[in-house]
Amino acid sequence: MGHLVSARLKVGVIGAGAMGASHVATLAAGVPSAEVTRVFDMDTARAKEVASSVGAEIADSADALVDGVDVDAVVIASPDFTHVALVLACLRVGKPVLCEKPLALSAEEAHSVVDAEVALGRRLVQVGFNRRFDPGFRDLKRSIDDGSLGEVRVLHGIHRNASSSTSTDDAGLVTGSMIHEFDTFRWLLDGEIVGIRVESPIVGGFRDPQVATLWTSGGQMITAEVFVNAGYGYDVRVEVVGTGGSATLEPRTPVVRRIAGSAGSMIGSDFVAHFIESYRLELAAWADAALTGTVVGASAWDGYVANLVAASGVRALGSGAREDVEVPERPGLYA
């Protein structure tokens, strides 16, 4: 039976915060094709706690983890500013890497990853846009792809957090939160975002919520609201409107309580819990692909373009005007 065991992907996880710890737990509890062998975090105590919970070891440094002989592939869940350097390190040693979004802090930085992959001549990078693996989002995409909505004309997106400790400034809302929408829309529509405007009802102070308008290469318009201090819970919804009908993704827990004059279902506030199945499917798909030398999900190119749209979004937030998104030609590697 040894052949099965040898097929298991040995994974090193960099970053043991909420996201990293969740990925470690999910890999251990839900992804048979992988095993977590090493964990690194600047906070060694945290790294130890997370590593030991699944029988893994800690690494002395992120670089040591990437280079380790007991690491076949790497998950990056460390702070955003570390992403690019770590992804490039993985590319240098030819190891598959799943990097949390955003791929980079800027489009330029993200493009250096694309350049490195192109130079390498093969793809190793997946960017953690987990919604592509969410059963609800996949069902929504199916409604588009099977033609039942006719020609798509408009999308509406809602993305709300109860509160946020990470998206805490105007630009951060675009580059850290709304970036999920950018990838979602590109993926749902198999198209590019060609223009963006970002505005807020708030003038003076932290501009939250933000309301974006986007235009696509397919001739659609999109409205997207991101509100990271919405208070009541974590809430992600999308409506796709076509000439043949509309499809709305609106997740709801299956239990309705009728108590004291109200019929209601619970809304959680934890985005990891909300999307936990998508993370599991993402990690499983990534590990399975890594074992066969392929890459699925959002590519480095997709990560770059998301950064590119975000950059235009941040500019738009400042200019108050529509900013174009100039997407360069896609390298053949990502065809």
Give the other-Cβ count within 10 Å of 332's Cβ: 7
Neighbouring C-beta atoms of residue 64, cutoff 10 Å: 14
Q: Which stretch binds its own copies (CB under 8 A): 87-95, 123-131, 172-180, 235-243?
A: 235-243
Q: How far is the CB of 280 from its own copies (least distance, A)?
A: 8
Q: Please tell me the number of Cα atoms within 13 Å of 321 on its side-chain side.
A: 3
Q: How many residues bind its own copies (CB under 8 A)?
A: 86
Stretch of 91-99, 121-129, 144-152, 293-301 contacting its own copies, by CB under 8 A: 144-152
Contact characters 82-121, its own copies, x per CB under 8 A:
----------------------------------------
**Rounded Cα–Cα distance for residues 233 and 112 (Å):** 37
DSSP 3-state of 57: strand
Strands 73-76 and 97-100: parallel
Residues 242-301 that bind its own copies (CB under 8 A): 243-269, 277, 280, 284
Q: Between the CA of residue 161 and those of 31, 41, 95, 313, what are the distances in Å?
A: 28, 26, 34, 20
Indicate whether 46 belongs to the interface with its own copies (CB under 8 A): no
- Out of 44, 52, 61, 148, the only residue in the binding site for its own copies (CB under 8 A) is 148
Find the binder of its own copies among 59, 74, 105, 140 (CB under 8 A). 140
Distance CA 178, CA 123 (A): 26
Find tokens 């998206």 and name the residue: 167
**For residues 188-207, which are near its own copies according to CB under 8 A?**
199-203
- Choose which of 53, 63, 112, 156 interacts with its own copies (CB under 8 A): 156
Cβ of residue 110: shortest distance to its own copies, in angstroms?
28
